């Protein structure tokens, strides 16, 4: 299977809303539960436009030619003291796992962050999410700390790692 990683376009909005719903149904590793996700295509379009205008933000999709299988967003800080940093989130449709999509999206995001002069990329990940954790470590992220019982998932408290990649350190 081949795929291209590219920036999200406004016209991707309907497909991206469906892809997000799919992520939330397929695993509990992302913050939304399917029933509480009410964003519309207009919300998605507005998000793509807003983040597209910010030099420290990025929305990437993995495009197989027939569908979008992955989504990575990097949301840059808005206050002066946070503009050097962006918060990452990432998902790949389960049918397309283990094909290198997330790895490639992370490589592109890291290259972009260097090119635009960001110092820091950060994210949170469930401590039990070994697929994602190993991917982030492979990409050079380090664990900074743990948020204990920060989430309640299917009736159980879950810890999250805070992770970051600091350029030039
Ligand atoms: C985590 C996720 C983004 C990875 O996407 P992907 O496209 O399958 O990732 P890649 O193919 O680039 O790399 C996956 C690699 O992780 C490693 N891996 C997979 N399962 C693993 C496990 N249980 N333990 C350790 N490493 C594991 C392997 O090296 C694997 O490659 P392989 O399956 O070819 O051997 C995807 O599984 C996903 O969307 N999960 C649900 C949402 C999520 O967890 N998002 C991250 C929230 S922080």
Mind listing the pLDDT tens digit for each residue in 10-21? 999 999 999 999
**95-121: per-residue pLDDT in tens?**
999 999 999 999 999 999 999 999 999
The vertex-136 CA angle with 132 and 139, nearest 5°, equals 140
Torsion 68-32-152-124 (CA) sign: positive
Count of helix runs (H) and strand runs (E) in the chain: 4, 7
CA 160 / ligand 1 centre spacing (Å): 17
Domains in the chain: ranges and CATH? 4-166 (3.40.630.30)
Q: Residue 1 has what pLDDT?
A: 83
Find all residues with CB under 8 Å of 36, minimum gap 6, and list them. none
d(CA 41, CA 116): 29
For the entire predicted model, the pTM comes to: 0.95
Measured by CA distance, the residue closest to atom 44 of ligand 1 is: 29
What are the pocket residues of ligand 1 if the criterion is a CB atom closer than 6 Å to any ligand atom? 23, 27, 29-30, 90-92, 97-103, 123, 125, 129-132, 134-135
Atom of ligand 1 nearest to the CA of 26: 41
């Amino acid at each position: 299977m081949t795929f291209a990683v590219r920036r999200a376009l406004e016209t991707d909005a309907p497909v991206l809303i469906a892809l997000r719903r799919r992520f939330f149904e397929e695993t509990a590793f992302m913050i939304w539960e399917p029933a509480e996700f009410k964003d519309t295509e207009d919300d998605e379009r507005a998000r793509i436009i807003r983040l597209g205008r910010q030099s420290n933000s990025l929305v990437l999709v993995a495009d197989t030619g027939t569908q979008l299988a992955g989504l990575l967003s990097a949301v840059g800080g808005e206050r002066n003291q946070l503009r050097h940093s962006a918060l990452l989130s990432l998902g790949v449709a389960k049918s397309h796992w283990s094909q290198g999509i997330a790895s490639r999206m992370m490589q592109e995001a890291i290259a972009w962050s260097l090119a635009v002069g960001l110092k820091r990329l950060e994210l949170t990940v469930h401590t039990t999410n070994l697929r994602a954790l190993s991917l982030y470590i492979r990409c050079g992220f380090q664990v900074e700390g743990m948020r204990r019982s920060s989430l309640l998932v299917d009736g159980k408290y879950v810890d999250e790692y805070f992770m970051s990649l600091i350029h030039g350190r």
